[in-house]
Amino acid sequence: DTEVTQTPKHLVMGMTNKKSLKCEQHMGHRAMYWYKQKAKKPPELMFVYSYEKLSINESVPSRFSPECPNSSLLNLHLHALQPEDSALYLCASSQVPTGATDTQYFGPGTRLTVL
Amino acid sequence: GESVGLHLPTLSVQEGDNSIINCAYSNSASDYFIWYKQESGKGPQFIIDIRSNMDKRQGQRVTVLLNKTVKHLSLQIAATQPGDSAVYFCAEGGGADGLTFGKGTHLIIQP
């Protein structure tokens, strides 16, 4: 089973709202990732969690706040977003976080619209 | 980091023909490459990967070729079917560094 699940599937929020995106995997993977994908563009890396610790933050604004409560769960907390933050947010996981030769498996994404 | 890129934004092929999707990468130190398929409204789906110590790898109806001399990667799909219609991304890296994606090629299947 190579399934990564994400909820919600769609989210519409105002610029003053606080919301959270959730991601879950039960493959025993120890690395989890958040990517942002704008329409007709490739995914762009936002955060990397390695053994439940944040290892990479690709200069993402503080209005995006990741959290890894345990090895199976990854959250992305959203606050005071801007309309340009509207995008597909993808979660991925891979078995081992070290090295660069490990396959990442993606979830279906959350389609976020900021009004 | 350095980026990988694709040559064509759109590729149109006849159903039943073979498809070849190309990708050029710029980081000569890259040692792992992946092809993903992304259908509309879905997340990227792993197709096949290859490590830098190989120049060819085959899967079911798909073959990935790696030419390190010219830093070129290609995905060949045999006997293209309507279900192959999607955007195909090459990606480089992985593990603790995350992935760097190319721009993507939209494969269109003509009946």
pLDDT in tens, B8-61: 789 999 999 999 999 998 788 888 899 999 999 899 999 999 999 999 999 999
Interval B17-32: pLDDT, tens: 999 999 998 788 888 8
Q: List pLDDT tens digits, range A30-63.
A: 999 999 999 989 999 999 998 999 988 888 999 9
Separation CA A57–CA A4 (nearest Å): 21
Q: Which residue has the tokens 């979830």?
A: A107
Strand partners, B50: B33
Quote the CA–CA distance of A43 and A56 in Å, as a whole number.
Answer: 16
Contacts of A48 in chain B (CB under 8 A): 96-98
Query: Cβ contacts (< 8 Å) between A4 and chain B: which residues?
Result: 43
Task: Give the Cβ contact number of residue B105 at 10 Å.
Answer: 22
At A85, phi and psi to the nearest 5? -80, -5
Say if residues A87 and A38 touch (Cβ distance below 8 Å): yes
The answer to whether the CB atoms of A100 and B32 lie below 8 A apart is yes
